């Protein structure tokens, strides 16, 4: 049993540890709400097959008793991401070269006009960063995660929010965690981006938010753009500063807590993908 698990998931331990882990996983399974089991596709006959997914989790602290149905689905999503990253690293074994703030700007400027997600993945892979697109189960409010596998950075996006500005904010936010918080990523940093303000988020999230936003719209430009009052002004600033209109529309919507005014413009630009 241990050899099979090692060959598939990269997990290694002695038989006693595996036995204890299985007992923990079985308890977790028994506490899982029926509607969550249905969404995931896990049942009394096949739950042991999901044990491999559990072993691929970057941290077992994800798998704890919870009253939140959404948390079970998030556990499943993060563990799926981690398992894919372990699998990829087993083949590719890319060394992490390190990135900085200038790298974010280069990435953003080079790919903002493109929608080829494979090219973005390849560009990041050259730096030793695994970018995984993994659709979450319907209703799961998770957008991104940053974590480490074998001391290498992994980021994943669910693409739940499909507008262009949401895509880029999520991607740059997760990369910002790598730049700013690499030592913290032994525990996954899981992100949720709804159309809301960031009043209650923690320090790490605020730092990643700030770096992502400043990369998309430099603060010197934002001081002028933030006074935009209509679509014509928005388009003028877009041309003046060479910033994609959807990026400006998304920032204005967030800062003013007004998602209706620019919704039509944001809806014109969506990330197209096919997993």
Largest CA-CA distance found in the chain, in angstroms, rounded: 67
185, two tokens: 């990523």
Q: Tell me if 93 is assigned to some domain.
A: no
Residues 71 and 105 in one domain: no
Three-state DSSP class for residue 163: strand
Domain limits at 27? 2-86
- Note the pTM of the prediction, 2 decimals: 0.85
pLDDT in tens, the chain (275 residues): 222 333 334 444 567 777 788 888 888 888 888 988 998 899 988 888 888 878 777 765 556 656 677 888 888 899 899 989 998 999 899 999 999 999 999 999 999 987 678 999 999 999 999 999 999 988 888 999 999 999 999 999 999 988 999 999 999 999 999 999 999 998 999 998 874 455 557 899 999 999 999 999 999 999 999 999 889 999 999 999 999 999 999 999 999 999 898 888 887 887 766 55
Q: Could you give the number of structural domains in the chain?
A: 2
pLDDT of residue 3: 26
Q: Tell me if 95 is assigned to some domain.
A: no
Closest among 66, 4, 62, 61 to 31, alpha carbons compared = 66
Q: Tell me if 92 is assigned to some domain.
A: no
pLDDT of residue 113: 81
pLDDT of residue 64: 62
Three-state DSSP class for residue 149: strand
> Of the residues 28, 59, 86, which one is the last residue of a structural domain?
86
Residues 137 and 235 in one domain: yes
User: Would the CA dihedral through 29, 34, 37, 43 be positive or negative?
Assistant: positive
pLDDT of residue 96: 96
- Identify any residues that bridge with 163 across adjacent strands, giving them in sequence order: 270
73, two tokens: 């689905």
pLDDT of residue 30: 87
Q: Tell me if 94 is assigned to some domain.
A: no
């Amino acid at each position: 049993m241990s050899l099979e698990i090692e060959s598939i998931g990269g997990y290694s331990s002695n038989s006693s540890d595996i036995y204890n882990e299985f007992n923990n996983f079985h308890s977790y399974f028994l506490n899982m709400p029926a509607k969550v089991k249905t969404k995931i596709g896990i049942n009394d006959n096949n739950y042991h097959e999901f044990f491999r997914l559990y072993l691929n989790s970057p941290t077992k602290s994800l798998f704890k008793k919870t009253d939140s149905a959404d948390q079970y689905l998030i556990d499943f999503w993060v563990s799926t991401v981690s398992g894919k990253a372990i699998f990829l690293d087993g083949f590719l074994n890319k060394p992490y070269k390190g990135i900085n703030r200038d790298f974010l700007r280069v990435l953003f400027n080079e790919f903002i006009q493109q929608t080829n997600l494979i090219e973005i993945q390849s560009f990041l892979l050259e730096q030793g960063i695994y970018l995984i697109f993994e659709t979450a189960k319907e209703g799961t409010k998770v957008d991104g995660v940053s974590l480490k596998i074998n001391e290498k950075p992994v980021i994943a996006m669910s693409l739940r929010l499909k507008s262009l500005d949401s895509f880029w904010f999520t991607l740059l936010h997760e990369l910002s965690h790598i730049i700013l918080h690499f030592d913290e990523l032994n525990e996954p940093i899981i992100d949720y981006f709804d159309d809301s303000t960031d009043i209650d988020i923690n320090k790490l999230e605020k730092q990643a938010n700030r770096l992502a936003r400043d990369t998309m719209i430099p603060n010197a430009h934002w001081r002028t753009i933030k006074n935009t009052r209509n679509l014509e002004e928005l388009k003028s600033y877009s041309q003046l500063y060479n910033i994609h209109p959807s990026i400006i529309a998304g920032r204005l919507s967030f800062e003013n807590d007004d998602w209706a005014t620019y919704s039509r413009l944001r809806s014109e630009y969506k990330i197209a993908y096919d997993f």
